[in-house]
Chains A and B, each alone.
Chain A
Amino acid sequence: MSESAKSNEAVAELARCRDEIERVDREIVRLLADRVALGQRTGALKRDAGLPILDPTREAAVIRRVTTVAREAGLPTEPVREIFWQIVGMSRRAQERE
């Protein structure tokens, strides 16, 4: 394969990769929406059961679980923890709004 053909092939493959990234990003956002919806549902159930919305023990357990999953997936754990603290916070605020 000539150099220019190789570079054309790389450019085409890069475009395919970017399409795939966009697909994964859409999926992540869709899953976040699912997670918020589940949070709202648990918020309503907590209220029915007379339980407080904020449950630090539960949040800590969620963070520990995703840390383990991230490590098994070969991901750096600190950024994943940061992301999930944000997600847990977003979910909690959605529960409080209900």
Chain B
Amino acid sequence: MIIITRPFVTDAEIDHIRERIESVGMRTHLSRGEHRTIIGCIGDESLLDELPLRSMPGVESVTPVLKPYKLASREFAVDRTVVRVGGRTAQATFGGEALTVIAGPCSVESRAMLDATAAAVRDAGATMLRGGAFKPRTSPYAFQGMGVEALKMLAAVRAETGLPVVTEVMDTRQVDVVAEHADMLQVGARNMQNFPLLAELGRVRRPILLKRGLSATIKELLMAAEYIMANGNHDVVLCERGIRTFETATRNTLDVAAIPVLKRESHLPVIVDPSHAGGDADLVAPLAFAAIAAGADGLIIEVHPDPERALSDGDQSLAPPAFVQLMTQLTAFAAAAGRRLPEVPATTRAVA
């Protein structure tokens, strides 16, 4: 249930409405805009049956939210959410006018390769660095990632380049150590419905990048976001990364329609992973352009200094020159979509 207040509602009226809702055992969430305020009700809605919500002072309308996700739903927020990542020295935002491009290797393989990749992607205009420390691999015999050692490298490279870092967390036991080193925590496609992990991430004070599961519906993705939000963390960025279809020519099928649908259904920012969607370096640029044209708030792209020698996902990684070319071409697509790429700060350029 959402309650839309009248214009010029007073603080006392809002306090009264919230007290009445909370007195039946529900919780409330306030979203204030310039002209109106929304009070969202969270919990068992049948508890509200007895309350004369419509006749309370300050109430303009009362609307049931029929969808199973509440906090993540578009109705619950007056404005679109802008998720801010990083701290004083390294920052990025998702959901504003500027697009955010995250780039980096599938997995961290050594400090030298991470340094080389970070410098290359930053100079090309990426404003965040990705790099896997814990890798969910289909085969238990495949490279599993460098773990905590990789987290320390990512933190060191963040300090040197000013690029905030996102890395995947696979297990509730890793949440604290990943949150200590990274600016944003990624839930991988295979863990999208790992509910204990989602609940644990709700208690973390770091934004979450939530990737859509390989066979997950849009509703299931939004319910996964709801899990994180219901546990207290409202900084969630959704990521479309391709879904399983009958097509075998591509690794996955990028669900371009999911981008506008998610933006219609939710106030959360949406980004796209064209690397995993196509599974092929040649497909990264066209899928990236399609994503931006469809309204995505950013991209996450795999870049490796030497894709042929990558320990994982080399086929879909771009070499730095191809990434530079993609970023150059992206400027025009961003402008056509009414967006822009963030300015590369001179201070970070000078380090190169």
Contacts and interface: CB of A to CB of B under 8 A. Distances in A.
A78 interface: yes
Secondary structure of the A side of the interface?
helix
B30 interface: yes
B23 A60 contact: yes
Secondary structure of the B side of the interface?
helix
A64 B18 contact: yes
A59 B26 CA distance: 11
Nearest to A58: B23
A64 B20 CA distance: 10
A61 B15 contact: no
Contacts of B23: 56-57, 59-61
A63 to B, nearest CB: 6
A63 B25 CA distance: 12
Contacts of A57: 23
A78 B22 CA distance: 14
Interface residues of B, number: 13
B25 A56 contact: yes
A78 B30 contact: yes
A60 B19 CA distance: 5
Interface string B1-19: 0000000000100011011
Interface residues of A, number: 13
Contact of A64 (B15, B25, B27): B15
B28 to A, nearest CB: 9
Nearest to A82: B232
A38 to B, nearest CB: 21
A60 B27 CA distance: 9
Interface centre among A54, A59, A61, A63 (most CB of B within 10 A): A63
A85 to B, nearest CB: 8
A67 interface: yes
Interface in B22-58: 22-25, 27, 30
B19 A56 contact: no
Contacts of A71: 11
Contacts of A78: 30
Contacts of B11: 71
6 contacts: A56-B22, A56-B24, A60-B18, A60-B19, A63-B18, A68-B15
